[in-house]
């Protein structure tokens, strides 16, 4: 299944930045692009995931699946984020066995949200 990996590109990760300095969130996004986004994962930049005091942050989501938000990340975590996103995409139901998740996903969860309920009107 095709899943979406949102990366907050406006995150300052609590740092005071010089004018023109690339924000940590944008650096994480660039590092993920550089490392190579696998098939089945759509990388989408987003302005603010409202997890500002736990940045940098990313979110994984797909129709009918639990969504996940992870934080306290940096560009150094790009490859692990990709590995976790790939595992999420590959899992038939999006639920990756605990031990198969990268450590940053096991230890730096900010939240998860159950699959969005299909309202009866929409199902008709």
CB-based contact 110:75 (threshold 8 Å): no
Q: Determine the interface stretch with a copy of itself among 25-33, 41-49, 72-80, 83-91 (rule: CB under 8 A).
A: 41-49
Number of residues lying near a copy of itself (CB under 8 A): 33
CB-based contact 81:5 (threshold 8 Å): yes
The residue among 24 and 71 lying less far from a copy of itself, judged by its C-beta, is 71
C-alpha span between 2 and 61 (Å, rounded): 9
Token pair, residue 97, equals: 């066995």
DSSP state of 53: G
Q: How far is the CB of 94 from a copy of itself (least distance, A)?
A: 11
Binder to a copy of itself among 23, 26, 61, 83 (CB under 8 A)? Answer: 61
C-alpha span between 27 and 88 (Å, rounded): 23
Token pair, residue 71, equals: 């934080």
63 binds a copy of itself (CB under 8 A): yes
Give the interface with a copy of itself as residue ranges (CB under 8 A): 1-2, 4, 6, 42, 44, 46, 48-51, 54, 57, 59, 61-63, 67-69, 71, 109-114, 116-119, 121-122
């Amino acid at each position: 299944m095709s899943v979406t990996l949102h990366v907050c590109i406006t995150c300052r990760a609590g740092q005071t930045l010089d004018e023109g300095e690339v924000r940590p969130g944008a650096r994480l996004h660039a590092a993920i692009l550089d490392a190579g986004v696998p098939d089945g994962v759509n990388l989408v930049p987003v302005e603010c995931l409202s997890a500002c005091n736990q940045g940098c942050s990313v979110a994984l989501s797909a129709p009918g699946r639990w969504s996940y938000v992870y934080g306290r990340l940096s560009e150094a975590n790009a490859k692990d984020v990709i590995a976790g996103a790939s595992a999420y995409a590959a899992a038939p139901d999006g639920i990756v066995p605990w031990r198969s998740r990268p450590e940053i996903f096991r230890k730096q969860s900010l939240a998860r949200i159950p699959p969005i309920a299909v309202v009866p009107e929409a199902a008709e």
